[in-house]
Each structure stands twice: as structure tokens, then as C-alpha cells.
């Protein structure tokens, strides 16, 4: 079995990913406020809720204008209570934790957090 790599396609994909990342970083530099709705998610143990169909995020500048191409960073507080499962959040055990939504620029270890918001996660049995 042989695997062939088309360097034109590979370099095109790499360029596209790099451009998307840079566009998201430029957008994040404009973010002053992240508005989240709802402020609390209620999950059941063992169930997964798709994050982007459940939570509405709106990144705003200091003057209140919407920021296009905003790509958030998500961090769950206590991952024994809730955590990511694919594109969704999974209730793991009964309890209360939080989801921090951040605007960021740069890659680790030089990542800078520019704005934050928080959503409570309540997990019921």
C-alpha cells in the first residue's frame, strides 16, 4: 500500500488553515466584551449537549460593535463534573462548575487572554 501526498493540496490546506487562524487572532485583538446567553446550562449525567446550538456568543468591541471571525477558547472548571465530548458538553457527575469563554491571541506558551466571560454548568442526575 502506498500513500501519496499532493503537495499542492497540502500546501493549499496549510495556507488556508494558517490564514483562518491569523484572521481569528486579528478578530480577537478587537474583542473587549464577550456576551453569552444563557448564563447557565443545565445538563444531565451521561447526556451530551451540542455547545454551538445551545449557547449564543457575541464578541463586541469597546464601542459595542460586533466582531466577525471571533474564535473562542473554552475551558471547563471541574472536568470531573462536565467536559467536552466532540462538539458538545457532557454531564459527567452531579454538581456545579463553569465554562470560561475567552478571546485569545497567539499559541502556547505565548497565548494572551484578551477578554473572558463565564457560563455556569449545572449537572443533575
Question: 71-104 as b/e, with b when 16 or more CB fall inside 10 Å?
Answer: ebeeebeeeebbeeeeeebbbbeeeebbbbbbbb
Tell me the pTM: 0.78
Q: What is the CATH number of domain 7-124?
A: 2.60.40.1080
Give the tens place of pLDDT for each residue, 97-121: 999 999 887 777 777 788 899 999 9
CA distances from 19 to 30, 42, 53 (A): 17, 36, 26
Any idea where the domains of the chain sit in the sequence? 7-124
And the C-alpha cell for 81?
463534573
Give the tens place of pLDDT for each residue, 27-53: 888 899 999 999 999 999 999 999 989
Amino acid at each position: 500500500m502506498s500513500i501519496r501526498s499532493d503537495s499542492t493540496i497540502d500546501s493549499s490546506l496549510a495556507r488556508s488553515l494558517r490564514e483562518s487562524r491569523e484572521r481569528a487572532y486579528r478578530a480577537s485583538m478587537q474583542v473587549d466584551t464577550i456576551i453569552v446567553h444563557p448564563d447557565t446550562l443545565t445538563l444531565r449525567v451521561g447526556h451530551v449537549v451540542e455547545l454551538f446550538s445551545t449557547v449564543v456568543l457575541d464578541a463586541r468591541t469597546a464601542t459595542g460593535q460586533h466582531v466577525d471571525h471571533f474564535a473562542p477558547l473554552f475551558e471547563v472548571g471541574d472536568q470531573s463534573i462536565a467536559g467536552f465530548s466532540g462538539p458538545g458538553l457532557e454531564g459527567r457527575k452531579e454538581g456545579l462548575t463553569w465554562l470560561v469563554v475567552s478571546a485569545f491571541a497567539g499559541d502556547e506558551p505565548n497565548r494572551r487572554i484578551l477578554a473572558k466571560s463565564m457560563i455556569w454548568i449545572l449537572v443533575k442526575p
